[in-house]
């Protein structure tokens, strides 16, 4: 990697006095006087500012203008403290707190605006222990339960390349009927992809409920089971689940849950690698991130990613099919 770090970026303001007050009092910036105008410094990072009297030597092809910036700042503490701070400063919160994904991973954000209308964001990576999902006792795992307050996944962009891709010519072992090559199946196929189903009474991998998007594979499978007839009535020819677990492991869940469709195994990760599907690793396992693919004659036409909550996954697909 080259030795590069972010030094500064640029915003444009229309009123120095008004913006200086906002960026110092609300955003906590150090005010830096320039020969003409000011800059706003945050530790060893800086916002250079174009404003009245400033004639920059170099500008972007579309120069930054008042109100067209979108900036995120880390709030070092609970996001509730950020909300109270904005209230004390008389700044309206436009959205949030809502889950977001930033430079340090999953966080919680609130959105507001500077005096010129540029979008500001405070993101907090602090986790409120009171809002963490309740832990199951050892040996008491119930995979059908979706705990409250499980962290939501965020769109990390890892599935944006999939729409329009043709599926690889690969057979995938199934919990019944041998194997399926999705690339040659005619008609519309719904493929829901999940990390791993749990087994009743068998403890989850350490920290599983804290991983955004990990918990809920059994509820997602049950949602497609319960909406199976509706999906077929909407013209879906095939429904499959897919994970990286082996077929024997998957068969136990498919039989226990009375799934009316096969579950496919990509235990060797060939399908995953061919499509560059998003994955994560836990307890030595490479697992797929949750998503749903709508496939027409072997070509991906629609991608649902991220999927949350998982127990509403099939209903979301049904709603999309009805609109399409």
Cβ pair 174, 263 in contact under 8 A? yes
pLDDT for 303 equals 98
Q: The pTM is what? A: 0.62
Q: What was the pLDDT predicted at 58?
A: 87
With b meaning 16 or more CB within 10 Å and e meaning fewer, what string describes 218-244? Answer: bbbbbbbbebbeebeebebebbbbbbb
pLDDT along the chain (324 residues), means of 10: 82 95 94 93 92 90 92 90 92 86 82 95 75 69 84 89 98 96 97 95 86 93 97 98 97 96 98 97 93 98 96 96 92
Q: What is the pLDDT of residue 44?
A: 86
Q: What local confidence, expressed as pLDDT, does residue 1 receive?
A: 56
Q: At CA 125, angle to CA 42 and CA 313, rounded to 5? A: 135
Decide if 79 contacts 110 (C-beta within 8 A): yes
Q: Exposed, middle or buried by CB within 10 Å (0-12, 13-18, 19+), for 14?
A: middle
Catalytic residues: 121
Q: Which pLDDT does position 130 carry in this prediction?
A: 52
Three-state SS string over 103-147 comes to CCEEEEEEEEECCCCCEEEEEECCCCHHHCCCCCCCCCCCCCCCC
In angstroms, rounded to a whole number, what is the distance separating the alpha carbons of residues 177 and 247? 12
Three-class SS of residue 183?
helix
What pLDDT does residue 183 have? 97
């Amino acid at each position: 990697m080259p030795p590069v770090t972010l030094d500064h970026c640029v915003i444009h303001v229309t009123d120095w006095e008004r913006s200086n007050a906002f960026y110092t009092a609300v955003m906590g910036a150090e005010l830096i006087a320039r020969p003409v105008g000011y800059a706003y410094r945050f530790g060893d990072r800086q916002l250079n500012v174009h404003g009245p009297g400033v004639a920059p030597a170099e500008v972007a092809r579309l120069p930054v203008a008042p109100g067209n910036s979108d900036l995120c700042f880390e709030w070092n503490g609970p996001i509730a403290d950020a909300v109270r701070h904005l209230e004390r400063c008389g700044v309206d919160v436009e959205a949030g707190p809502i889950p977001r994904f930033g430079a340090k991973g999953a966080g919680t954000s609130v959105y507001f605006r500077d005096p010129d209308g540029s979008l500001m964001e405070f993101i907090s990576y602090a986790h409120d222990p009171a809002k963490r999902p309740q832990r199951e006792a050892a040996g008491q795992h119930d995979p059908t339960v979706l705990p409250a307050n499980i962290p939501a996944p965020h769109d990390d962009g890892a599935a944006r390349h999939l729409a329009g891709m043709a599926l690889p010519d690969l057979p995938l072992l199934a919990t019944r009927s041998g194997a399926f090559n999705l690339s040659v199946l005619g008609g519309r196929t719904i493929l829901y992809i999940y990390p791993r189903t749990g087994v009743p009474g068998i403890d989850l991998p350490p920290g599983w409920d804290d991983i955004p998007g990990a918990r809920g594979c059994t509820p997602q499978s049950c949602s497609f089971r319960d909406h199976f007839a509706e999906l077929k009535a909407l013209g879906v020819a095939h429904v499959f689940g897919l994970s990286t677990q082996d077929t024997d492991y998957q068969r136990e869940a498919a039989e226990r849950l009375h799934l009316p469709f096969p579950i496919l195994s990509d235990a060797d990760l060939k399908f995953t690698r061919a499509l560059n599907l998003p994955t994560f690793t836990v307890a030595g396992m490479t697992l797929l991130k949750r998503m749903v693919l709508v496939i027409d004659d072997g070509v991906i036409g629609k991608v649902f990613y991220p999927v949350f909550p998982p127990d509403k996954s099939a209903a979301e697909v049904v709603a999309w099919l009805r609109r399409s």
